[in-house]
Amino acid sequence: MSAEAESEPKATDLAAVWGLPLMAVHCPSCDQVHLVPEEAAPQPCPFCRQGPVAPQPAYLRDEPPEQVVPYRITEGQLESLFEKWARGLWFRPPEMEPRLLAHRTRRYLIPLWLVDGQVEASWRADVGFNYQVVSSQDSYSERSGWSSQQVTETRVRWEPRLGYLKRTYNNLPAPALEDHRQLMARLGAYDLGVRSAYQPEAVQGAAVRIPTLDPQAAWPGAEVAFVRAAEDECRQAAGADHIRDFAMEAQYHDLNWTQLLLPAYVTWYREGGRIWPLLINGQSGKVSGVRRVSVQKASNAAIVMGLVALLILCIGGLLALLGIALPPAGVVGALVMAAGGLLALAAPIPPIWAWMANRRSEGT
């Protein structure tokens, strides 16, 4: 065997490492790679649902994730979450039915790094201390004339500070995915204090995102977490209420990286010839996704309104003709025709509103 062949990375034996028969698949549409159960492939991408996935070798660590944040939201609670999420939406698409969404839901696990390490640093910052200022505010009213009222205002006194820091910080989060920030913006925060050790059952039947950032690539995000932790500790050590312009020159030692899996769910519905995925926080229950309006339903409503308007206009016309012999009937006929005309004018509103609502929802 040549030296080049020996240096090539070796694909991970997923079943041996993760304890379950898994395979890595790549989606050409969203360019994401997932681990899925062997029996589940090939299927549409578990994240975007836009196209079939293709198996590919997985080059991962030789150990599974060390920890998992457990699901707090059970599958039995999903239907009520979807009902609440879709509540108030007119012309709801047929597939945006809570029971169907819950039936299509599958578990989805998102990787995150937790970093431990020791920091030695010199730092400087401005720290702020709140203090109260009492003043008088004069006001005038026609009833009582001039009056004075005591007003208490909170202000901040800023003072420079500098010092030396040597601390160990544990379990600081760092992204394991390039799109981590976008995912968290959709899912919301997680309570990382609730964790359990990895067991193969944690990923059984689930789709798992493969990290796109190894520890070296994830270090800038980890360093930000260290700086924020040090900043808050320096504020507390100074007994201050605020801190600004924090800077430190640091050295980091004994770094230890732990991979954590965050719980989520994915599901989808079809509308307008396209599939719309939904993402659910498995801990808080927050549902994120585009709420589309059914243009077909809105168009059907417009057709019904138009037909009803035509019927009312016909009835009004007949009453107007009858008014030649019976004048009171002519007055009623005119009113009926006016009502039919107004309804005819309103008939195009539902599809126009549906189109505008869909445009707004795609922009959010």
Secondary element (H or E) of residue 181: helix 180-187
pLDDT tens over the chain, length 364 residues: 334 444 456 677 888 888 888 888 998 888 889 999 887 666 788 998 887 888 888 778 888 899 999 999 999 999 999 999 999 888 989 999 999 999 999 999 999 999 999 999 999 999 999 998 887 776 767 677 677 777 788 899 999 999 999 999 999 999 999 999 999 999 999 999 899 999 999 998 899 999 999 999 999 999 999 999 999 999 999 999 999 999 999 999 999 999 999 999 999 999 888 899 999 999 999 999 999 988 888 888 889 988 988 898 888 888 878 877 777 777 887 888 888 888 888 888 888 888 888 788 776 5
Rounded to the nearest 5 percent, the helix, strand and coil shares of the chain are 35, 35, 30
Measured distance CA(42)–CA(36) in Å, rounded? 10
- Which residue in 9, 37, 66, 25 sits closest to 210, CA to CA? 25
Whether residue 341 contacts residue 309, with contact meaning beta carbons closer than 8 Å, is answered with yes
Secondary element (H or E) of residue 149: strand 145-175
Measured distance CA(190)–CA(109) in Å, rounded? 13
Q: State both tokens at 260.
A: 């954590």
Q: What is the pTM of this model?
A: 0.82
- Which residue in 171, 196, 170, 181 sits closest to 69, CA to CA? 196
By DSSP bridging, strand 67-68 and strand 242-271 are parallel
Q: State both tokens at 73.
A: 């939201």
How much is the pLDDT for 4?
42
Whether residue 15 contacts residue 60, with contact meaning beta carbons closer than 8 Å, is answered with no
How much is the pLDDT for 364?
56
Whether residue 80 contacts residue 101, with contact meaning beta carbons closer than 8 Å, is answered with no
Task: Produce one character per residue of 91-102: b if its CB has 16 or more CB atoms within 10 Å, e if not.
Answer: bbbebbbbebbb
Q: State both tokens at 326.
A: 């019976």
Q: State both tokens at 164.
A: 């030396």
Other CB atoms within a 10 A radius of the CB of residue 198 amount to: 19
Other CB atoms within a 10 A radius of the CB of residue 181 amount to: 10
